[in-house]
Amino acid sequence: MIRISLDLMGGDFGPEVVIPGAAKALERHPGVSFVMFGQQEKCAPILARYPTLRERSVFHHCEIAVAMDEKPSQALRRGRYKSSMWKAIEAVKAKEADVAVSAGNTGALMAMSLFCLRTMANIERPALAGIWPTLKGESIVLDVGATIGADAQQLLDFAVMGGAMARALFEIERPMVGLLNVGVEEVKGQEEVKEAGRLIREAGLDTINYYGFVEGDDLGRGTVDVVVTEGFTGNVALKTAEGTARQIAQYLRSAMSRTLLARLGYLLAKEAFDRLREKMDPRKVNGAVFLGLNGIVIKSHGGTDAEGFAAAIDVGYDMARNGLTQKIENDLKEYHARHSSSAGPEAA
């Protein structure tokens, strides 16, 4: 049984989206149970509409809800132990839940997760890994905003953690991993990226298949299973892709309603347009994972609806069911054991 803790107050709409989203997720995964944290007066009336979900859940009242515009430092100071976000994360630390899911303030969620769960051994910075739709299916991109800037060793750690996530989510034995760069030639790019490529090649890890450098257009092509970059570049790429998808959707709506002939053409091709709309639906790939922590925390988009939040729960369910944390720990141990032995007694 997978136990999922939920921050009911997170996101732009709080329990009005989170609770219906949990109900949808329960329909897809009847074996899960939920530990819910939120303000009683706001959550109880909504939860009462979903009796099956209520039976599969334990609710805990929390006095404080972290605001979406609250600075991480403020969220940590202002009674964090009483907030629904902190309690949801703490449930993972206490082994009362296998994964925590929140649509709340990203910075506050990162800070609280780091403060509560701590990073794994030999991990200096965690990464936020997002699921990316491609022409071939889906891939993983990290970091998409948790850490701005990264050195070569941190990029290698991201590659190891992203590979473990691909194994857990896509069930690929040896995922293909690429480093995002301004060109595929080895002489191009920042020194940190070139050095990271050298480190990954020399590591010779059995858990990943290093492809080399990839460019921006490779993200949509699905050239590799995992794309590694630092948080500033990853977040810009993510927001650009989301904006482009909305832009194309708006273009299509305008074009299809412009003339009678265009509307007739839309009706004739409705099935194809429906498939395109579903493929471009950002809700289908909602749910980013904080990697490198001693526990699983999923960040849902703050403005998503119930279907999107259910997708974030789906990601958390898959990560917990397939042992994401253990896979990352094992892969990191393998790398550092091999690195220590190859470095010789001087490194010790």
Residue 68, C-beta contacts closer than 8 angstroms, at least 6 positions apart: 11, 12, 104, 105, 302
Chain-centre distance of CA 37, in angstroms? 21
Could you tell me if residue 318 is inside a domain?
A: yes
Could you tell me if residue 248 is inside a domain?
A: no
Answer whether residue 92 shows pLDDT above 60.
Answer: yes
Note down the domain range covering 116: 1-123+292-348
% of residues, the chain, pLDDT over 90 = 42
Instruction: Give the per-residue pLDDT at 268.
Output: 67
Question: 119: exposed, middle or buried (C-beta count within 10 Å: 0-12, 13-18, 19+)?
Answer: middle
Answer whether residue 41 shows pLDDT above 60.
Answer: yes
Instruction: Give the per-residue pLDDT at 347.
Output: 46
Give tens-digit pLDDT for 16-28: 999 999 999 999 9
Could you tell me if residue 113 is inside a domain?
A: yes
pTM: 0.84
Could you tell me if residue 271 is inside a domain?
A: no
Q: Across the strands, what pairs with 83?
A: 64
Confidence band, pLDDT 50/70/90 cuts, at residue 83: very high
Domain count, the chain: 1
Could you tell me if residue 197 is inside a domain?
A: no
Return the CATH number at 322: 3.40.718.10
Answer whether residue 49 shows pLDDT above 80.
Answer: yes
Residue 127, C-beta contacts closer than 8 angstroms, at least 6 positions apart: 142, 143, 146, 147, 157, 158, 161, 162, 231, 290, 291, 292
Instruction: Give the per-residue pLDDT at 82.
Output: 87
> 184: closest CA among 227, 160, 164, 213?
213
Dihedral sign for Cα atoms in the order 303, 307, 310, 311: negative
Instruction: Give the per-residue pLDDT at 14.
Output: 93
Which helix (H) or strand (E) segment is 177 a member of? strand 176-180
- DSSP symbol at 124: S
Give tens-digit pLDDT for 113-158: 999 999 988 888 889 998 888 888 889 998 888 878 888 988 998 9
Higher-confidence residue of 154 and 77: namely: 154
Going by their DSSP bridges, the two strands 137-142 and 127-134 should be labelled as antiparallel
Distance CA(263)–CA(278), nearest Å, equals 20
Higher-confidence residue of 176 and 281: namely: 176
pLDDT, average across residues 159-172: 88
Give tens-digit pLDDT for 254-304: 777 777 777 777 676 767 666 666 666 666 678 889 999 999 999 998 888
Could you tell me if residue 253 is inside a domain?
A: no
Distance CA(112)–CA(47), nearest Å, equals 26
- DSSP symbol at 81: G
> 102: closest CA among 309, 245, 265, 256?
309
Q: Across the strands, what pairs with 212?
A: 178
Could you tell me if residue 94 is inside a domain?
A: yes
Could you tell me if residue 174 is inside a domain?
A: no
The encoded tokens of residue 336 equal: 């550092």
